[in-house]
Chains A and B, each alone.
Chain A
Amino acid sequence: MGIARIGGGLQAIGTRPAAGLPPAGGLPGATGSPAAGGAAPKPGGFVELLDKMVDEVNDKQLAAEQAVRDLASGRTESVHDVMIAEAEAEISFRLLSQTRNKLVDAYKEIMRMQI
C-alpha cells in the first residue's frame, strides 16, 4: 500500500475540520468513490476500510436526518429513536474525524522522513 493510496484515502474523507457538526445531506465525496488516483483499492486494504467508514458515517447521518423528519412530520412518536440516531451519527462521525486526523499526522510524519 503506497503513499498515493493513503493520500487518496484522505481525499475520500475530505478536508472538513474535526470540530463542529457534520454537513447536512451526508458527507461530500461519500458516494462511494475512493482514491482520486483512480486505482481500485486492494481488498482488505486500509483505504477500503476508510471507504466503508465514510459510507457508514454517511448512512448514519441520513438516518438521523430521517428520524428528525419523521418526528417533525408526525410519522413517528418515539423521541428515543431520534436521540439514538443522532448520538450514533455523532459518534461515528467523530470516530471518522479522529481517524482522519491520525492519518494526516502519519502522512506528515512520513513526508518529513523522505529526503
Chain B
Amino acid sequence: MSLNRIFGSFDVSGSALSAEQARMKAIADNIANASTTRTPEGGPYRRQRVVFETVLRECADGTKQTAGVRVAAVRKSDAPPLRVFDPDHPDADATGFVAYPDVSVPSEMIDMIAAARAYEANLEAIKNFKGMVNKALAIAR
C-alpha cells in the first residue's frame, strides 16, 4: 500500500473525478425522468441528489489529512411532487391532478455544467501533477 502513496496526489484528484461523474449520472437520471409520472415503487420519479463528503486520511503522526472526496449518499428528494391538472392523463388521480417529479430541467442543466466544470478542474490537477513529476524525473537525466 505504501508504494501507492508516492503519487497520492493522483488519488485525491481521481476521487473527485469519480464523485463528479456520479453526480453527473444522477443529474442525467433526473433530466431523463423529468416527466416520469409512474414508477415501479409507485408515484412519480423522485429527484436524486448526491451528497459529497471530504475523505480524511490518518497520517503517521495521528493528524488527519484531506485525501479527496467521496459520494456519501445518493438521496431521493422528499419534496412534494408538482401537481398538474390534466384529467385525461392515465395517471390522473380522483381530482384530475397528475403528480409530476419535482425536477426543473433548466436547474438540472446548470448543475450539470457545474459538475462538468469541477470534473475538468480536477482533470487539470492531474495533468499538472504529471507535468511536475516528469520535470523531477528530468533532473538527473
The answer to whether A and B interact is yes
Q: How many residues of B contact A (CB 8 A)?
A: 13
Residues of A within 8 A of B137 (CB): 79, 83
Judging by beta carbons under 8 Å apart, are A83 and B139 in contact?
A: yes
CA of A73 to CA of B133, assembled, Å: 18
Judging by beta carbons under 8 Å apart, are A87 and B3 in contact?
A: no
A80 within 8 A of B: yes
Judging by beta carbons under 8 Å apart, are A73 and B139 in contact?
A: no
Judging by beta carbons under 8 Å apart, are B140 and A74 in contact?
A: no
Residues of B within 8 A of A74 (CB): 1-6
Residues of A within 8 A of B6 (CB): 71, 74, 77, 79
Nearest chain A CB to B36's CB is how many angstroms away? 48
B8 within 8 A of A: yes
B94 within 8 A of A: no
Most B CB within 10 A of own CB, among A75, A83, A84, A90: A83
Residues of B within 8 A of A75 (CB): 2
When the two chains form the complex, which single residue of B1, B5, B139, B140 contacts A77, counting CB atoms closer than 8 Å? B5
B7 within 8 A of A: yes
- Chain A residue nearest to B134 in the complex (CB): A79
B32 within 8 A of A: no
- Chain B residue nearest to A78 in the complex (CB): B136
Instruction: Scan A74-96; emit 1 where CB is below 8 A from any B CB, else 0.
Output: 11011110011011001000000
A72 within 8 A of B: yes
CA of A84 to CA of B136, assembled, Å: 9
Residues of A within 8 A of B136 (CB): 78-80, 83
Instruction: Scan A57-74; emit 1 where CB is below 8 A from any B CB, else 0.
Output: 000000000000001111
Instruction: Scan B103-141; emit 1 where CB is below 8 A from any A CB, else 0.
Output: 000000000000000000000000000000100110110
B-binding residues in A (CB < 8 A):
71-75, 77-80, 83-84, 86-87, 90
A-binding residues in B (CB < 8 A):
1-8, 133, 136-137, 139-140
Q: A75-B2, A80-B136 are in contact. List 7 more A-B contacts (CB 8 A).
A: A71-B6, A74-B3, A74-B6, A77-B5, A83-B140, A86-B140, A87-B139
